[in-house]
C-alpha cells in the first residue's frame, strides 16, 4: 500500500501534480488539479496542499484495509449524506420524498452517532406522520406501504455508508420491521356499477358528466386516473388501448369491450393528440362521493375503486390472476393479489367445487 505524489509535464510547460495510488494489488491515479508554474512561493504552497491530500488519502486506505472508520467521514450528518446519495434520483423516489422526514427526525445527528434505537424510533416516527391525501377529509397517517418504502430508503443509505467504510455495520440490522396491516380493498359489484350508471351525477352536463364517463370507463379498462387524464385518441388503435402508463412508464395494452367503446363518445377521426376525457384540475372524488350516495352505495367511493372493480369483475368472470396482472400493468403478481383478493363469488364457487354426496358414505 502506498500513495506517492508525482508530476506530469504539460504542453504549456507547467507540471501537473497527481497521486500514484497502489492498494490491494491495484494501481490507480488521482489528479489533484494542482499545477506548478515555476513561481517558487506558489509552487511551494501547491506542493504543501498536495502533501496534505496525499496524507489524508493514505489514512483513508489504511482505515479501509483494517476496518477502521475515518474520523472526518463519521462526522458527516446523516441528512447531508442521504441528500448526497439522493442526487439524480427522480422526485417520486422514496429516498427523495423522505428526505424532509429524515431531517425532521435525525436533525444534525452524525453518521457515527446513528444507533439501532434511533433507527427503530424513526420507524415509529414515520407511523405517526400525517399527510393530506387528495379527496380525503382532513389528514391521515402515512400508508403502511409508504412507511415501509421510506424505512427501506434509510436502510439503503446506511448500507452505502457501510460499503464506503464510514460505518462498521448497519444500525438498521436487527430492527424489527412493522408488518403492514391488511387493508380492505373496496370494489363495486356488477349490480352497483349498473346502479351508478342509472344515477345522475352533480354537474351532469359539464365536468360531472365527464367524471361519470371516465369512472365507468375505468371500471371496464382498469386504467388509473393518471392514465385516464392523459388518454388521447392516438392511444386507441384497432379497438385497443396502447398507452405508456404515467406511473410506471411501461407500455400497456387493453382490449376495449362494447361497454367501454360506448363510453368514449367519439371516433377515430378526432386529432390523435386530443384527450378522450376532458378532466380539469378539480378533484373527481368530490363528485364520486355524492354520486355513490345518490345510488345508495354505502362503500367509500373514490376513483381508484374503479380499478379494483375491473380486477374483481374480470376475476369473477374466470380470468386467471396472471391475465389480470397484464391488464392492470403490474410488474409483480403480488401487486395484483393485493388489489383483487378473492371475491365472495369466487370463494363460494371454490367451496362449491369440492361438494360431495356423503349421504351414502359408510353404507353397504
pLDDT, tens digit, 9 for 90 and up, residues 133-184: 554 456 778 888 889 999 999 999 999 998 887 888 899 988 888 776 666 6
Residue corresponding to grid cell 374480470: 314
Tell me how far CA of residue 200 lies from CA of 74, 90, 288, 305, in angstroms: 64, 41, 11, 19
Give the pLDDT score at 183: 65
Give DSSP secondary structure letters for 38-49.
S-HHHHHHHHHH
Q: CA angle at residue 18 from 17 to 22, to 5 degrees?
A: 150
Exposed, middle or buried, 243 (CB in 10 Å: 0-12/13-18/19+)? buried
pLDDT band at 128 (very low <50, low <70, confident <90, very high): very high
pTM of the model: 0.57
Q: Which residue has the higher pLDDT, 234 or 364?
A: 234
**Whether the predicted pLDDT of 302 surpasses 70:** yes
Lowest mean pLDDT among 105-109, 114-118, 135-139, 325-329: 135-139
The fourth-level CATH superfamily of domain 190-350 is Intergrase catalytic core (1.10.443.10)
Give the whole-angstrom CA distance, residue 212 versus residue 295: 13
Q: Which residue has the higher pLDDT, 294 or 328?
A: 294
Q: Tell me the CA end-to-end span of the chain in Å, nearest whole number.
A: 89
- Please, what is the average pLDDT of the chain? 85
Q: 155: closest CA among 143, 137, 142, 167?
A: 167
- What is the three-class DSSP state of 317? coil
Lowest mean pLDDT among 172-181, 222-231, 257-266, 354-363: 354-363
Give the whole-angstrom CA distance, residue 111 versus residue 79: 9
Give DSSP secondary structure letters for 87-101.
TT--TTSHHHHHHHH
Give start and end residues of each alpha helix (H) in the chain.
Answer: 40-65, 71-74, 78-85, 94-106, 116-128, 144-163, 190-198, 207-219, 225-229, 258-264, 285-294, 305-316, 321-328, 333-339, 344-352
Give the whole-angstrom CA distance, residue 237 versus residue 173: 51
**Whether the predicted pLDDT of 67 surpasses 80:** no
Amino acid at each position: 500500500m502506498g500513495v506517492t505524489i508525482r508530476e506530469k509535464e504539460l504542453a504549456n510547460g507547467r507540471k501537473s501534480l497527481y497521486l500514484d495510488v497502489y492498494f490491494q494489488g491495484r494501481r490507480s491515479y488521482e489528479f489533484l488539479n494542482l499545477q506548478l508554474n515555476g513561481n517558487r512561493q506558489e509552487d511551494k504552497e501547491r506542493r504543501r496542499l498536495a502533501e496534505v491530500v496525499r496524507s489524508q488519502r493514505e489514512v483513508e486506505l489504511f482505515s479501509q484495509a483494517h476496518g477502521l472508520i475515518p474520523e472526518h467521514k463519521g462526522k458527516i450528518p446523516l441528512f447531508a449524506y442521504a441528500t448526497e446519495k439522493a442526487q439524480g434520483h427522480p422526485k417520486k423516489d422514496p429516498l427523495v420524498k423522505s428526505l424532509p422526514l429524515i431531517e425532521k427526525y435525525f436533525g444534525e445527528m452524525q453518521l457515527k452517532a446513528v444507533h439501532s434505537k434511533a433507527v427503530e424510533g424513526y420507524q415509529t416516527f414515520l407511523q405517526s406522520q400525517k399527510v393530506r391525501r387528495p379527496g380525503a377529509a382532513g389528514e391521515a397517517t402515512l400508508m403502511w406501504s409508504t412507511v415501509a418504502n421510506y424505512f427501506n430508503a434509510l436502510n439503503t443509505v446506511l448500507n452505502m455508508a457501510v460499503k464506503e467504510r464510514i460505518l462498521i455495520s448497519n444500525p438498521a440490522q436487527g430492527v424489527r420491521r412493522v408488518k403492514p396491516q391488511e387493508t380492505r380493498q373496496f370494489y363495486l359489484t356488477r349490480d352497483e356499477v349498473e346502479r351508478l350508471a342509472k344515477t345522475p351525477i352533480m354537474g351532469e352536463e359539464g365536468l360531472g358528466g365527464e367524471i361519470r364517463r371516465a369512472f365507468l370507463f375505468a371500471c371496464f379498462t382498469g386504467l388509473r386516473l393518471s392514465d385516464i387524464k392523459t388518454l388521447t385518441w392516438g392511444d386507441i388503435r384497432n379497438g385497443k388501448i396502447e398507452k405508456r402508463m404515467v406511473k410506471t412508464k411501461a407500455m400497456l395494452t387493453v382490449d376495449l369491450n362494447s361497454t367501454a367503446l360506448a363510453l368514449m363518445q367519439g371516433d377515430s377521426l378526432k386529432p390523435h393528440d386530443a384527450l378522450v376525457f376532458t378532466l380539469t384540475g378539480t378533484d373527481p372524488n368530490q363528485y364520486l362521493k355524492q354520486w355513490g350516495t345518490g345510488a345508495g352505495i354505502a362503500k367509500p367511493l373514490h376513483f381508484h375503486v374503479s380499478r379494483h372493480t375491473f380486477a374483481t369483475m374480470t376475476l369473477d368472470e374466470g380470468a386467471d390472476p396472471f391475465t389480470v396482472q397484464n391488464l392492470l400493468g403490474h410488474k409483480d403478481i403480488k401487486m395484483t393479489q393485493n388489489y383483487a383478493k378473492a371475491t365472495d363469488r369466487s370463494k363460494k364457487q371454490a367451496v362449491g367445487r369440492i361438494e360431495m354426496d356423503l349421504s351414502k358414505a359408510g353404507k353397504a
